[in-house]
């Protein structure tokens, strides 16, 4: 149960809804004012009568009002209709559905691997409490942090290594610091010291005390890590020819396909805002 | 550790010196093609060889250092200023003002930073000048990154607003300007400085990633990012390993910044 009662949950829901509405507005305006909007090839189709062309123009005129267009666009989005991609000449919803599994797999597997490695490194550093361990971990994370993610992705691509491993390794330095601080503060908490003093076994300590104390924050950190991994997905997919949403966004940018780009931006924003808000809710509950 | 810090300071000072004196230090112009020396290996005339258009890599690297090393701090300053501006609203008690601010922050933090750049690139006309592309790239990096320092500064502002010493200073009748300059600013300055130092490496990395994708500084102007684009061609690297020089310099600068305690923010 979330502390602070339903008010906090309602506020979180309101935040996600407002972010969705705002990003939807931005997306709709970008589509509405993108170059070439409203230009219709049917104008030049000799098979259509003057009445038909006029009817098409009248229908388009209704959508020339940005507010009406927004309502129409949002209505379509809620039904899963994002419009048609200018460059691929396919429904955007289908394109997103085709590409999403590859990105979700890359992000989820990469995040899980990165989170696990960072957690193990932080746990070892906190457990052994030797300066050499700390210095070693700092050196590893420092060097990893100094390499741009795109370069790292290219390196893995050339080595024919799994891209999920690349995402995982890139996440390690970005998670290690936070996890180490969290583990250090937990290991020095009164509850754990008292439990240790009572002679409880390590397994019991880990499952009954540590996980209960930190599960919320660890879950929240996993959410944030998946958002960072999603950011990595664009350069990785673009440079390494991985057919996911990142590569789709990249191709849409190159071909200036605003309806597709706007739809991707909307989906990404809603996905990330939901994770952020849920993470904050859980972390606050834990604190 | 002290020796390591000294070495890092020395390396960074040298890089900065090279950046600031690039127009005088560079033996050639960054955009001058030498048609008889295309894709050459390092020689006395071209210390790092030439690219596929016959331009001197060494001169381009010097100019790229100037662009990346000067504009990344400028972008960091933009983020700090914007964060500071919005953080001043944080102590306000009104939920009507705080909620939109929270939404705005969530929205900014929600969008992975690379998406605004992709959108911007799609909106920009094809004939955008290189100078405009530089300004837009770094301005957008600065604007997109405001939320990170903004959140920290907002927390500091709330702490300051709730502090006893501020209440005491107000009750003592000290003028508002004096309270700000003598009491509030020293607290904020330390936080701003810490944020500034962590944003610089993050923005250098951001520019590098964007450049590698072709979304950053436009040709013919060089930057560390767009010089890394050649890494996409392994055959060229095999023919001339000096292509790795920008990457080596970038990693060296990042490691030095980290040794001096400037860990990049999450945005990178």
**Dist CA A244 CA A96 (whole Å):** 9
Taking the mean position of all CA atoms in its chain, how far away is CA B200?
5
Give the model's confidence band at A113: pLDDT under 50 very low, under 70 low, under 90 confident, else very high.
very high
Whether B200 maps to a domain, the answer reads: yes
CATH number at residue B125: 1.10.3720.10
Whether B267 maps to a domain, the answer reads: no
- Subunit contact B228:A150, Cβ cutoff 8 A: yes
Mean pLDDT, rounded, for A124-132: 80
Q: Which of B15, B106, B144 should one mutate to test binding to chain A, selecting the residue with the greatest count of A CBs within 10 A?
A: B106
Whether B254 maps to a domain, the answer reads: yes
Give the model's confidence band at A110: pLDDT under 50 very low, under 70 low, under 90 confident, else very high.
very high
Its domain, for residue B189, covers 2-261
Model-wide pTM > 0.80: no
User: Please, what is the end-to-end C-alpha distance for chain A in angstroms?
Assistant: 14
| Contacts of residue B267, Cβ cutoff 8 Å, sequence gap at least 6 | B113, B144, B145, B148, B199, B202, B203, B206
Of A22, A151, A231, the CB nearest to B112: A231
- Subunit contact B115:A174, Cβ cutoff 8 A: no
Tokens of A202: 């390590």
**Dist CA A138 CA A180 (whole Å):** 11
Residue B186 has pLDDT above 90, yes or no: no
**pLDDT tens digit string along B201-247?**
888 888 888 888 877 777 788 888 888 888 888 888 888 888 899 99
Give the model's confidence band at A117: pLDDT under 50 very low, under 70 low, under 90 confident, else very high.
very high
Q: Which of A8, A13, A142, A148 should one mutate to test binding to chain B, selecting the residue with the greatest count of B CBs within 10 A?
A: A148
pLDDT value at residue B93: 64
ipTM attached to this prediction: 0.75
| Contacts of residue A218, Cβ cutoff 8 Å, sequence gap at least 6 | A119, A182
**pLDDT tens digit string along A203-214?**
677 667 777 777
Please, are residues A73 and A24 in contact by the beta-carbon 8 Å criterion? Answer: yes
Q: How far is CA B42 from CA A254, B28, B37, B59, B245, in A?
A: 34, 14, 11, 13, 12
Whether B192 maps to a domain, the answer reads: yes
Residue A162 near chain B (CB below 8 Å): no
**Chain A residue whose CA is closest to B244:** A151
Mean pLDDT, rounded, for B62-76: 87
**pLDDT tens digit string along B23-37?**
898 888 888 888 888
Residue A123 has pLDDT above 50, yes or no: yes
- Subunit contact B263:A145, Cβ cutoff 8 A: yes
Give the model's confidence band at A5: pLDDT under 50 very low, under 70 low, under 90 confident, else very high.
low
Q: Which of residues 82-141 of B touch A (CB under 8 A)?
A: 102-103, 106-107, 109-115, 118-119, 121-123
Residues of A in contact with B123 (CB under 8 A): 30, 258
Whether B116 maps to a domain, the answer reads: yes
Whether B266 maps to a domain, the answer reads: no
Residues of B in contact with A249 (CB under 8 A): 115, 118
Of B205, B232, B255, the CB nearest to A154: B232
Number of domains in chain B: 1
Whether B79 maps to a domain, the answer reads: yes
Whether B268 maps to a domain, the answer reads: no
Mean pLDDT, rounded, for A125-131: 80
Residue B215 near chain A (CB below 8 Å): yes
Residue B229 near chain A (CB below 8 Å): no
Residue B233 near chain A (CB below 8 Å): no
pLDDT value at residue B268: 40
**Dist CA B161 CA A268 (whole Å):** 36
Give the model's confidence band at A10: pLDDT under 50 very low, under 70 low, under 90 confident, else very high.
confident
Q: Which of A35, A245, A253, A264 should one mutate to test binding to chain B, selecting the residue with the greatest count of B CBs within 10 A?
A: A253
pLDDT value at residue B113: 67
**pLDDT tens digit string along B160-184?**
888 888 888 888 888 888 888 888 8
Mean pLDDT, rounded, for B121-142: 76
């Amino acid at each position: 149960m979330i502390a602070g009662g339903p008010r906090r949950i309602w506020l979180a829901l309101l935040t996600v809804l407002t972010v969705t509405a705002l990003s939807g507005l931005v997306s709709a305006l970008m589509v509405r004012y993108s170059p070439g909007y409203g230009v219709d090839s049917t104008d030049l189709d000799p098979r259509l009568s003057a009445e038909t062309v006029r009817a098409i123009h009248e229908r388009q005129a209704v959508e020339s009002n940005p507010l009406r267009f927004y309502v129409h666009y949002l209505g379509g989005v809620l039904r899963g209709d994002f419009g048609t991609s200018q460059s691929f000449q396919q429904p955007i919803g289908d394109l997103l559905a085709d590409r999403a599994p590859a990105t979700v797999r890359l992000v989820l597997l990469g995040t899980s691997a990165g989170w696990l490695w960072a957690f193990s490194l932080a746990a070892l550093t906190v457990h052994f409490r030797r300066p050499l361990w700390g210095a070693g971990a700092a050196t590893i994370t420092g060097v990893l942090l100094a390499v741009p993610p795109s370069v790292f992705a290219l390196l893995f691509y050339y080595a024919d290594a799994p891209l999920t491993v690349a995402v995982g390794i890139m996440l390690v330095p970005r998670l290690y610091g936070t996890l180490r601080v969290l583990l250090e503060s937990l290991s020095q908490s009164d509850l754990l010291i008292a439990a240790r003093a009572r002679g409880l076994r390590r397994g019991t300590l880990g499952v009954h005390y540590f996980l209960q104390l930190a599960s919320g924050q660890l879950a929240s950190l996993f959410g944030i890590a998946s958002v960072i991994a999603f950011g990595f997905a664009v350069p990785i997919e673009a440079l390494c020819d991985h057919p996911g949403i990142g590569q789709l966004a990249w191709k849409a940018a190159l071909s200036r396909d605003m309806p597709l780009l706007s739809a991707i931006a909307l989906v990404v924003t809603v996905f990330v805002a939901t994770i952020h808000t849920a993470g904050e809710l859980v972390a606050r509950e834990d604190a | 550790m002290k020796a390591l810090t000294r070495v890092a300071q020395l390396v960074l000072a040298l890089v900065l010196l090279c950046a600031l004196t690039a127009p005088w230090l560079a033996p050639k112009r960054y955009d001058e093609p030498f048609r008889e020396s295309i894709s050459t290996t390092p020689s006395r005339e071209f210390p790092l060889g030439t690219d596929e258009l016959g331009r001197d890599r060494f001169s381009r690297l010097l100019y790229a250092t100037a662009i990346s090393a000067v504009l990344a701090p400028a972008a960091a300053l933009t983020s700090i200023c914007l964060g500071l501006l919005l953080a001043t609203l944080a102590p306000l008690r009104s939920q009507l003002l705080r909620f939109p601010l929270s939404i705005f922050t969530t929205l900014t933090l929600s969008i992975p930073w690379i998406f605004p750049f992709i959108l911007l690139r799609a909106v920009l006309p094809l004939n955008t000048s290189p100078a405009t592309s530089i300004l837009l790239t770094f301005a957008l990096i600065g604007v997109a990154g405001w939320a990170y320092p903004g959140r920290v500064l907002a927390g500091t502002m709330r702490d300051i607003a709730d502090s006893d010493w501020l209440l005491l200073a107000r009750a003592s009748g000290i003028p508002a300007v004096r309270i700000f300059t003598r009491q509030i600013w020293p607290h904020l300055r330390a936080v701003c400085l810490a944020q500034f130092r962590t944003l610089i490496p993050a923005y250098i990395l951001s520019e590098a990633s964007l450049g590698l994708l072709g979304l950053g500084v436009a040709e013919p102007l060089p930057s560390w990012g767009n010089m890394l684009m050649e890494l996409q061609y392994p055959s060229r690297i095999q023919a001339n390993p000096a292509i790795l020089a920008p990457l080596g310099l970038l990693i060296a600068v990042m490691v030095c910044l980290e040794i001096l305690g400037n860990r990049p923010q999450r945005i990178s």
